[in-house]
Amino acid sequence: MDVKKKIIDKCMPLFIENGFKITMDSISYTLRISKRTIYECFRSKEELIYEILLVAYNNMQADFEAGNEKSNNLMEKILPVSNLELHNSFALYHALLENARRHYPAVYKLMFDLHIGESVSNFSDMLKEGVKRGIFRKNIDVALVALSLFNIYHIEINKIISKDFTANAILDNIVLCYLRGIVTANGLELIVDIEKKSKNIKLENSRQNLLKTIRKINIDEQ
């Protein structure tokens, strides 16, 4: 394992536990790696944080792709309620991203711009495929709907972090309601199937321990 990857792997749980406010001196002491070695791999703390966020983002994307390979149901790809690995990596990435927004806004902007670009592109591709399959209405504005879905998912993760509402409540009252307005009769049948699945999956329970960490990073420090 190269030194840079070793530092990233060891820093990930450290940042999850303490947030990005932890000092480089503390990082060096905890990892038992000299600051000189760290700075030989990363020009600044900001670069280290960016690399950490990039790993968390890539893990989230990998879980998304893995879930897609298991199902040919396009609606389940847009609403992966049964992909608990994705829910966990999604929540973790956004917890770290929110912490970066508070303490390292320049790094946050770099990651957010990357995330919104790729996410909207993925949603656009799935929506276009859904129109071809007769799942979504032909007259939808794909670009606008893709951007709307991105924002809806951000509403969900922000509420999960703040614990104002459960993930299931947001799924039922916001996400599914929005999708019902743009689907065909065939698409509605797929949504009904997802609603049945969501009633059997308590999303918030599957990540109870993770949410404790998220609250520690983003709420307890307020």
- Residue 1 maps to a domain: no
Can you give the pTM of this predicted structure? 0.79
CATH no. for residue 148?
1.10.357.10
Which residue stretches of 71-207 are H helix? 74-78, 84-103, 105-132, 142-162, 167-170, 176-180, 185-200, 203-206
Total domains in the chain come to: 1
3-state secondary structure of 201: coil
DSSP 47-67: HHHHHHHHHHHHHHHHHHHHH
- Residue 164 maps to a domain: yes
Q: At residue 204, does pLDDT exceed 90?
A: no
- Residue 78 maps to a domain: yes
Q: Measured at the alpha carbon of residue 85, what is the angle toward residues 187 and 109, in degrees to the nearest 5?
A: 90
Kindly report, residue by residue over 74-128, the tens digit of the pLDDT: 888 887 766 666 777 877 888 888 889 889 999 999 998 888 888 899 999 999 9
- Residue 111 maps to a domain: yes
- Residue 94 maps to a domain: yes
- For residues 59 and 188, what is the distance between their CA atoms, to the nearest angstrom? 31
What's the mean pLDDT when you consider all of the chain? 82
pLDDT of 179 reads: 92
- Residue 14 maps to a domain: no
On whether the CB atoms of residues 87 and 203 are closer than 8 A, the answer is: yes
Structural domain that includes position 80: 45-218
- Residue 139 maps to a domain: yes
- Residue 103 maps to a domain: yes
3-state secondary structure of 177: helix
